[in-house]
Amino acid sequence: MQGTADYNAATVSTEPAFLVDEVSWADAAERLGAVRRDVFVLEQAVPEELEWDGLDVDCRHVMATDVCGLPIGTGRLLPDGHIGRMAVVKAWRGKGVGRALLAKLVELARQRGDRAVALHAQTHAIGFYRRAGFEVSGDEFMEAGIPHVEMRLVLAVG
């Protein structure tokens, strides 16, 4: 008699599954906005009027979703090469979602031919961005009542 389960244990993953894709603001504004509202407005007390700056329509957006298709993270790439509005819902932090979102945004910038990308990193996240190759390129400043620094990643030399 054979066992009821026949599988290779090495293929079983304990990592949570999620997807990161580029999405259009027109199609995904409500879902992207829900993540940003949860993280920035509700959790970090960023005023609504600062969060919704009117630039989203001109940006490229990425969204992370869980296996049920629920949005769990977001980020955007502005036309000038700035990455912004990186947010991951609390339950998914530390599981690689932010790293995957950032990698996708950098990939989009490279495909577009950007020579560098820059971002305003909350000071507690400097190590996260450094691990992705970004370097601090300015002094600390306050944005929406939260300390930030400018960081930059060179994508092309010459």
Domain boundary assignment for the chain: 9-154
Residue 26 has pLDDT above 60, yes or no: yes
How far from chain centre, in Å, is Cα 154?
18
- Please tell me the distance from the alpha carbon of residue 151 to that of residue 82, in angstroms, as a whole number: 10
Radius of gyration of the chain (CA): 18
Q: pLDDT value at position 120?
A: 97
Q: Tokens 């504004």, residue?
A: 29
Nearest to 105 by CA among 126, 125, 129: 129
* Whether the predicted model's global pTM rises above the 0.85 cut: yes
What is the per-residue pLDDT across 62-98, written as a single tens digit (0 to 9) for each?
999 999 999 999 999 999 999 999 999 999 999 999 9
Token readout for 12 is 């079983």
CATH hierarchy code of domain 9-154: 3.40.630.30
